[in-house]
Every structure is written in C-alpha cells, then in structure tokens.
Amino acid sequence: MKREIEYRKYKRQDKKELTKILAEQIYNNFFEKEKDAQKYSRFILKRAIETCKYGKVAVIGEKIAGAIFGIKKDKSRFLSHLKRMVCYAQLKLRKKNREALKSLLLLDQMEQELLDKNNVDNEKLIVLFLMERRYERAEIQEALLAEWENVVSGQKDKRTWIVVNGRAEPEFLDRYHFQKVEEKSAIIQPKEQRFRFYKTLYRGRESTG
C-alpha cells in the first residue's frame, strides 16, 4: 500500500534526521570518522536554517524523506564565515580532518564564485535540497520542488537557481526544464583517493504560476 506523504514546515526536532541525511548524501565522503561528518553536517544544516526564510520537509510515516531550504536572508557573510571558522577549528584538532576541511573550504568558495559571477538572486536560490537515499528517484523530489515553486511564482522574477554537487544532471532537473548555466571543478583528496569534484549551477524555467 502506498504511504501518504506529508509536506510541512521545518521543525526543530527534524534536525537530527536531516543531519544524518546530509552526512550520508555528501559529508561521509570527506571525513574518516562518521561523528566528524555529522558535526560538519550539523553546521551546514544550522547555517541553512538560520539564513533561509523557507524550509519545508517531506515526511512518510514518522520518517523524513527529504527537505528544501532556500530564499536567503540578507545576513552578513562575515558572521557566516566566522561560524564556519569556529567549526573548522574544532574539527582540525583531528589531523586527518585537515585535508577534508581544506577541500570543503575550496568547494564553498567555488560555489560562491558561481553565484556571484551569475548574479544569482538569493530570493530564488535553493540552498539545500536533501533526499533520503531510498527516495531519491521518487515523486517526493518533484513534490518538494512544486511546493517551492508555489512560493517563488509570487515573485517578479520567478526563475529558481540551484547548485548541484556533481556533473550528472539529476532527473528532476530535466523534468522541470532546468538549464545548466556553468560548472566549476577542482581536484581534491579529502581521504586517500584523489578525484575531481564538480559544482554545477542550474537555472530553472520561469514559472507561469
């Protein structure tokens, strides 16, 4: 039997599950120890919660399946940078984390360069799009994006922007007619293996809603 999906605003008690999803989606690939990946994921999630006006989650039963955070507030980049440096300083106490943090700082800078160069409006930016792995190809992605578009469609410029980690285009972007604008890459080695990591900027179609 198909389980009902609930879409609701983010709640404080969602933080633990979302931190786990974020770590599995990205940061377990950077840190040797799971607890360090969780710590960094908590920082990234907290930053999104504090700097975004929009936060919505998809829930199946009592489990979170995905979430979107976006529409950045006009907050000081200096304050965000300061909090990141505090997190980095704590994680740097473990020597093996230093290369991971160096790589993550580079990728963060790379993403910001993409946003600045293309004059991306923070009011239209999806900052975090999280999906629990087993639901990555389900209708939940599209439904979360549809909920987002309902908000963006009320604005003058209705195009959505998103930066994707990687080069392969997620299926939902194709279905929603997102266009690839630009990509940047860097060779990193957060653990033992050296590889090229891509950040790709996409622009959505103009909503007609």
End-to-end CA distance of the chain: 33
pLDDT-based confidence at residue 91 (cuts at 50, 70, 90): confident
The pLDDT, as a whole number, for residue 147 is 84
Q: Are 55 and 61 in contact (CB under 8 A)?
A: no
Let me know the angle formed at the C-alpha of 140 by 136 and 143, rounded to the nearest 5 degrees: 140
- Distances, alpha carbon 44 to alpha carbons 27, 104, 109, 139, 160, in Å: 10, 11, 14, 26, 21
pLDDT per residue over 38-82, tens digit each?
A: 999 999 999 999 889 999 999 988 899 999 999 888 665 666 667
Note the pTM of the prediction, 2 decimals. 0.86
Among candidate residues 123, 45, 109, 124, the one with its CA nearest the CA of residue 77: 109
